[in-house]
């Protein structure tokens, strides 16, 4: 530490963090750094020092900080990196609680969509909503996410499904990134469903995406990634490939909603097009997973969606054994997973995927950051990384999984500033 820190977090009972600037796979995913009685020094928005209380005392003796340094006492609690949510659909208008009774009567998600409900219902409401409405709804969701420990999230468009309303959705994300402390990474998901006016004309809708939406989105720098809902009755593998290749030609990095409800070949496609992540993967077969392992495609798993759709759970243990980096996300959306809480997702990953708490921490920090191309700046607590920090009402990682269903976040620091306290 050459310069005076602006902030010192001290009396950390246990600091738990993965290390490095890229995704962890295989056995490495469960290896995290643990420091008892630790401190973190921050200057501006960057971590400048991490060590033990002993080392902090030595620094104090050298008078290595000045009277302006703010000292925060973590009260002997657990401290981790800010959580990263690499898959959300938080730009929408209208909740869909009415679908709950249909689902309880046995109707499937894809049947509801076929009837014009599901995503298409949210599309109707989102098209009617103004930019300001979307920003307001988004802000409420982001507040909740941050209260639960998330400091960075990916956000998809995908409830506009025409040029104007997809652009409006991406503009809402851009605006939220300016006005909210949460860091947002935008994804274009014009291929989330085929809108009513193109029913039976999927090919024409794909043309609209490729000829009008993608050039405009890329031209206005409104997204970094291009995603497709590659699913039976939605977009086929061939249609998805066309869209992702077009996105790539315009500088958008591919992502895929892959093998969520059926085994269509989304995992294979993700590997083939060089996607940064393949998401869901509930029904991904061995061949697709092998292809992902070979290309180091990050698996973004969404156990909250499995729970809420009453579906089976992705084969996380197999993926880890195969050497695929596993990340976790909420999938926050009004249909298949209406929750903003990554803490719930962490609990489900342990209980249903049989991931260990250390693997889970890596999955919601460094590996999640890799899934959105940000592992060089966020996802761990190390000198040089951005100061995104969570202080927990918990003594260790196990406690976060164990004491479930309640919010255990005490304090959130984003880019060196207190956002939840």
Give the residues across from 326 on adjacent strands. Answer: 299
State yes or no: residue 336 binds ligand NIG (CB under 6 A): yes
Task: Using the rule CB under 6 A, give the single segment among 14-22, 146-154, 240-248, 327-335 that binds ligand NIG.
Answer: 327-335
Provide the 8-state DSSP code for 336: S
State yes or no: residue 171 binds ligand NIG (CB under 6 A): no
CB 364 within 8 Å of CB 342 = yes
State yes or no: residue 257 binds ligand NIG (CB under 6 A): yes
State yes or no: residue 118 binds ligand NIG (CB under 6 A): yes
State yes or no: residue 259 binds Fe ion (CB under 5 A): no
Question: Which residue numbers belong to the known binding site for Fe(3+)?
Answer: 87, 89, 257, 331
Helices and strands of the chain, counted as H and E runs: 17, 16
State yes or no: residue 119 binds ligand NIG (CB under 6 A): yes
What is the token pair recorded at 248? 């790539």
Q: Which residue has the tokens 């590997």?
A: 271
Nearest to 36 by CA among 46, 47, 50, 49: 50
Q: Which residue has the tokens 């809708």?
A: 205
Give the residues across from 392 on adjacent strands. Answer: 409
Residues 13-42 as b/e (b if ≥16 CB within 10 A, e otherwise) read: bbbbbbbbbebbbeebbbebeebebbbbbb
Query: How far apart are CB 122 and ligand NIG at their closest, in Å?
Result: 5
State yes or no: residue 227 binds Fe ion (CB under 5 A): no
CA dist., res. 151 & res. 411, Å (int): 11
Task: Using the rule CB under 5 A, give the single segment among 11-19, 190-198, 247-255, 330-338 that binds Fe ion.
Answer: 330-338
Give the residue ranges of DSSP H helices in 86-232: 99-104, 109-114, 119-128, 131-147, 163-179, 202-208, 214-219
CA dist., res. 63 & res. 104, Å (int): 64
Nearest to 32 by CA among 372, 388, 363, 358: 358
Judged by CB, which is closer to ligand NIG: 330, or 419?
330
What is the token pair recorded at 214? 């993608």
State yes or no: residue 260 binds Fe ion (CB under 5 A): no
Question: Which residue numbers belong to the known binding site for N-formimidoyl-L-glutamate?
Answer: 159, 333, 335
Judged by CB, which is closer to ligand NIG: 305, or 347?
305
State yes or no: residue 260 binds ligand NIG (CB under 6 A): yes
Residue nearest to ligand NIG (CB): 335
Residues 283-292 as b/e (b if ≥16 CB within 10 A, e otherwise) read: bbeeebbbbb
State yes or no: residue 168 binds ligand NIG (CB under 6 A): no
Nearest to 357 by CA among 88, 152, 80, 147: 80
Task: Using the rule CB under 6 A, give the single segment among 4-12, 43-51, 133-141, 328-336 that binds ligand NIG.
Answer: 328-336
Question: Which of 190, 334, 379, 416 contacts ligand NIG by CB under 6 A?
Answer: 334
Query: How far apart are CB 89 and ligand NIG at their closest, in Å?
Result: 5
Task: Using the rule CB under 6 A, give the single segment among 134-142, 144-152, 288-296, 326-334 that binds ligand NIG.
Answer: 326-334
Which partner, ligand NIG, Fe ion, none, binds residue 229 by CB below 5 to 8 Å per kind?
ligand NIG
Question: Which of 6, 331, 340, 359 contacts Fe ion by CB under 5 A?
Answer: 331
Task: Using the rule CB under 6 A, give the single segment among 206-214, 268-276, 333-341, 389-397 that binds ligand NIG.
Answer: 333-341
CA dist., res. 131 & res. 99, Å (int): 26
CB 387 within 8 Å of CB 416 = yes
CB 299 within 8 Å of CB 23 = no
Query: How far apart are CB 159 and ligand NIG at their closest, in Å?
Result: 7
CB atoms within 10 A of CB 317: 13
Question: Which residue numbers belong to the known binding site for 4-imidazolone-5-propanoate?
Answer: 96, 159, 192, 260, 336
CB atoms within 10 A of CB 323: 17
State yes or no: residue 154 binds Fe ion (CB under 5 A): no
Judged by CB, which is closer to ligand NIG: 40, or 194?
194
Judged by CB, which is closer to ligand NIG: 107, or 356?
107
CA dist., res. 185 & res. 151, Å (int): 12
Judged by CB, which is closer to Fe ion: 49, or 265?
265
Interaction pattern, residues 88-107, with ligand NIG; x per rule: CB under 6 A = -x------------------
Residues in touch with ligand NIG (CB under 6 A): 89, 118-119, 122, 229, 257, 260, 305, 331, 333-336
Residues in touch with Fe ion (CB under 5 A): 331
């Amino acid at each position: 530490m050459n310069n005076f820190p602006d902030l010192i977090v001290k009396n950390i009972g246990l600091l738990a963090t993965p290390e490095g600037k890229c995704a962890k796979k295989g056995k490495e995913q469960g290896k995290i750094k643990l420091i008892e009685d630790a401190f973190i020094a921050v200057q501006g928005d960057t971590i400048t020092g991490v060590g033990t209380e002993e080392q902090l005392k030595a620094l104090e003796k050298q008078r290595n900080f000045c009277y302006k340094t703010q000292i925060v006492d973590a009260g002997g609690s657990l401290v981790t990196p800010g959580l990263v949510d690499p898959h959300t659909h938080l730009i929408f208008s209208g909740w869909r609680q009415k679908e709950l009774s249909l689902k309880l009567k046995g109707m499937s998600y894809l049947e509801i969509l076929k009837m014009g409900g599901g995503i298409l219902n949210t599309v109707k409401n989102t098209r009617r909503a103004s930019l300001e409405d979307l920003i307001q709804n988004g802000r409420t969701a982001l507040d909740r996410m941050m209260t639960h420990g998330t400091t960075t999230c990916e956000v998809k468009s995908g409830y506009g499904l025409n040029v104007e309303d997809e652009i409006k959705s991406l503009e809402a994300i851009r605006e939220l990134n300016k006005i909210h402390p949460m860091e947002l990474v935008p994804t274009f998901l014009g291929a989330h469903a085929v809108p009513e006016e193109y029913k039976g004309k999927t090919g024409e809708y794909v043309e609209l995406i490729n000829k009008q939406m993608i050039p405009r989105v890329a031209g206005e720098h409104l997204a970094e990634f291009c995603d497709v809902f590659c699913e039976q009755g939605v977009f086929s593998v061939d249609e998805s490939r066309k869209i992702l290749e077009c996105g790539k030609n315009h500088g958008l990095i591919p992502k895929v909603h892959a093998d969520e409800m059926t085994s269509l070949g989304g995992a294979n496609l993700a590997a083939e097009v060089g996607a940064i992540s393949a998401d869901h993967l509930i029904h991904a077969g061995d061949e697709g997973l092998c292809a992902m392992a070979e290309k180091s495609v990050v698996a973004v798993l969404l156990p909250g969606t499995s729970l809420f759709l009453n579906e089976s759970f992705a084969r996380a243990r197999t993926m880890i054994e195969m050497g695929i980096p596993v990340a976790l996300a909420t999938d926050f959306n009004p249909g298949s997973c209406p929750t903003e809480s990554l803490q719930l997702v962490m609990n489900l990953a342990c209980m249903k995927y049989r991931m260990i708490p250390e693997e889970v921490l890596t999955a919601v920090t460094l590996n999640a950051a890799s899934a959105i191309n940000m592992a060089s700046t966020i996802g761990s607590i190390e000198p040089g990384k951005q100061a995104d920090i969570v202080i927990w009402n918990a003594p260790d990682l196990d406690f976060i999984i164990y004491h479930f269903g309640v919010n255990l976040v005490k304090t959130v620091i984003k880019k060196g500033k207190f956002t939840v306290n």
